[in-house]
Amino acid sequence: MLRRKITGFIPMHGPVKSEDLMRVYGISRQAAGKELARMTDPGLIRAAERGRATRYVMA
């Protein structure tokens, strides 16, 4: 369910970082990171900018 929300959120708001998901969905940093990693592995999203604040976009 969170995955579906995230895939709807990214196209509307552009590149997102885990902090954005924490704020919008009220989840922990660990939960946001795990969900982003789960979505990156099958290629649903990809890291657009890496570094201290990695931003993700739709693949």
**What mean pLDDT is reported for the chain?**
93
- CA separation for the pair 59, 40 (Å, rounded): 9
Going by C-beta distance under 8 Å and a sequence separation of 6 or more, which residues neighbour residue 24? 9
Are 1 and 35 in contact by the 8 Å Cβ rule? The answer is: no
Residue ranges covered by each domain of the chain: 2-58
Q: Which CATH architecture has domain 2-58?
A: Orthogonal Bundle (1.10)
Binning pLDDT at 50, 70 and 90, where does residue 49 land?
A: confident
Once rounded to an integer, what is the mean pLDDT over residues 21-49? Answer: 94
Once rounded to an integer, what is the mean pLDDT over residues 35-59? Answer: 92
48: helix, coil or strand?
A: strand
Q: Residue 30 has what pLDDT?
A: 95
The pLDDT of residue 37 is above 90: yes
Residue type, 28: S
Rg (CA), the chain: 10
Q: Residue 51 has what pLDDT?
A: 80
